[in-house]
């Protein structure tokens, strides 16, 4: 782990050098006096405030959870392809509250409220039950399967929704050189089916009638393809999770019309957009398909994450 004090000192030193080289005085004593002034507390920076966060108790690996709770090991296999992809030999363990959340939501079909602190893995508390249900249901999918919104994730801000997209791309849309990414697993174990997801906000292209914005949609697609190719060629794999995937077999749905035609399994939106969606016909098919899917089987569960 990086030393926070060291990081603070390095950043502050960089600012001192920038000011000294960018705004030099012709007399050295002036430079020295200026440097003394800007190094005073509160002039350029404040001392760092460090919060010591206690380590949460680790209960069991996801594989152990599956054994103890009688859940198929496929859940552990899939999660470790993306959401819990291992960077070392040590297998990740679930915190107590993550273990209880997964058991309550996936096995007991209970609603949960998570109130743990910063850095406690709250995202996993709702993503794991969602993924667990998708893995379980998808065992019975053929090459054609019913499209419906299995999960709606509601955020108050678009910035939070964008952060969630990064996690979902890693969890559901990853490919690795050694062919153990999420998409590789789905190819091998689910007949190439995908767990589709999409962000449906005011920033999602495009509003209006598809025929009238077709040219704008094509131009946006070309731009996204350029960004995707640039990210691939950069050699920085993490960049690929910050933009929509433009591969032909992608799980991500990046435009409104695709989601209106075929509902994503996971839809991320905000309260304002949801209000608009519920009042017009454009998105009616998403909700009708979801209602039909829920009526098909009493074991089908709709997840609402707020």
What are the φ/ψ torsions at residue 157 (nearest 5 degrees)?
A: -130, 145
Residue 135, pLDDT > 80, answer yes
What Cα–Cα distance (Å) separates residue 249 from each residue in 40, 114, 152, 175, 186?
A: 56, 34, 23, 11, 11
Q: Which residues contact 84 (CB under 8 A, 6 or more apart)?
A: 62, 92
Give the pLDDT confidence score for residue 23 in this predicted structure. Answer: 84
**3-state DSSP assignment of residue 264:** coil
**Residue 200 covered by a domain:** no
**Residue 17 covered by a domain:** yes
**Residue 234 covered by a domain:** no
State which residues form the domain around 23. Answer: 4-38
**Residue 156 covered by a domain:** no
Q: CA angle, corner 287, sides to 165 and 277, nearest 5?
A: 70
* Mean pLDDT along residues 143-172: 91
Per the CB < 8 A criterion, the answer to whether 83 and 130 are in contact is no
Quote the number of domains for the chain.
1
**Residue 10 covered by a domain:** yes
**Residue 143 covered by a domain:** no
Give the pLDDT confidence score for residue 86 in this predicted structure. Answer: 62
Nearest to 199 by CA among 147, 157, 230, 141: 157
Environment class of 145 (CB within 10 Å of its CB; exposed 0-12, middle 13-18, buried 19+): middle
Residue 130, pLDDT > 80, answer yes
Share of the chain above pLDDT 70, in %: 98
pLDDT tens-place string over residues 201-226: 999 999 989 999 999 999 999 999 99
pLDDT tens-place string over residues 52-86: 777 899 999 999 999 999 999 999 999 999 999 76
pLDDT tens-place string over residues 89-129: 678 999 999 999 999 999 999 999 999 987 899 999 999 99
Q: In this structure, what DSSP letter does residue 179 have?
A: S
- How much is the pTM? 0.84
**Residue 34 covered by a domain:** yes
Q: Which residues contact 183 (CB under 8 A, 6 or more apart)?
A: 173, 174, 175, 194, 249, 251
**Residue 189 covered by a domain:** no
Q: Is the dihedral of CA 222, 226, 227, 231 positive or negative?
A: positive
What are the φ/ψ torsions at residue 267 (nearest 5 degrees)?
A: -115, 125
Share of the chain above pLDDT 90, in %: 73
Residue 263, pLDDT > 90, answer yes
């Amino acid at each position: 782990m990086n030393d926070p004090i060291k990081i603070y000192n390095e950043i502050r030193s960089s600012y001192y050098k920038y000011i000294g080289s960018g705004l030099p005085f012709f007399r050295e004593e002036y430079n020295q006096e200026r440097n003394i002034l800007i190094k005073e507390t509160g002039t350029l920076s404040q001392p760092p405030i460090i919060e010591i966060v206690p380590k949460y108790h680790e209960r069991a690996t996801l594989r152990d959870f599956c054994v103890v709770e009688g859940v198929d090991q496929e859940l552990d296999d899939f999660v470790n392809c993306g959401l819990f992809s291992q960077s070392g030999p040590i297998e990740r363990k679930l915190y107590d509250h993550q273990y209880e959340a997964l058991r309550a939501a996936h096995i007991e079909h209970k609603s949960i409220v998570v109130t743990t602190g910063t850095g406690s893995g709250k995202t996993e508390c709702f993503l794991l039950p969602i993924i667990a249900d998708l893995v379980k249901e998808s065992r019975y999918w053929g090459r054609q399967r019913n499209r419906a919104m299995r999960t709606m994730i509601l955020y108050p801000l678009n910035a939070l929704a964008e952060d969630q997209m990064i996690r979902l791309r890693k969890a559901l849309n990853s490919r690795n050189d050694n062919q153990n990414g999420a998409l590789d697993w789905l190819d091998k174990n689910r007949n190439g089916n995908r767990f589709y997801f999409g962000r449906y906000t005011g920033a999602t292209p495009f509003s209006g009638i598809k025929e009238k914005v077709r040219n704008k949609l094509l131009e946006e697609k070309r731009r996204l393809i350029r960004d995707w190719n640039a990210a691939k060629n950069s050699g920085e794999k993490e960049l690929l999770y910050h933009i929509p995937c433009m591969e032909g077999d992608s799980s991500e749905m990046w435009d409104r019309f695709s989601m209106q035609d075929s509902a994503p399994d996971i839809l991320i939106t905000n309260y304002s957009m949801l209000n608009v969606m519920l009042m017009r016909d454009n998105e009616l098919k998403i909700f009708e398909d979801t209602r039909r899917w829920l009526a098909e089987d009493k074991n089908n569960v709709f997840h609402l994450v707020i």
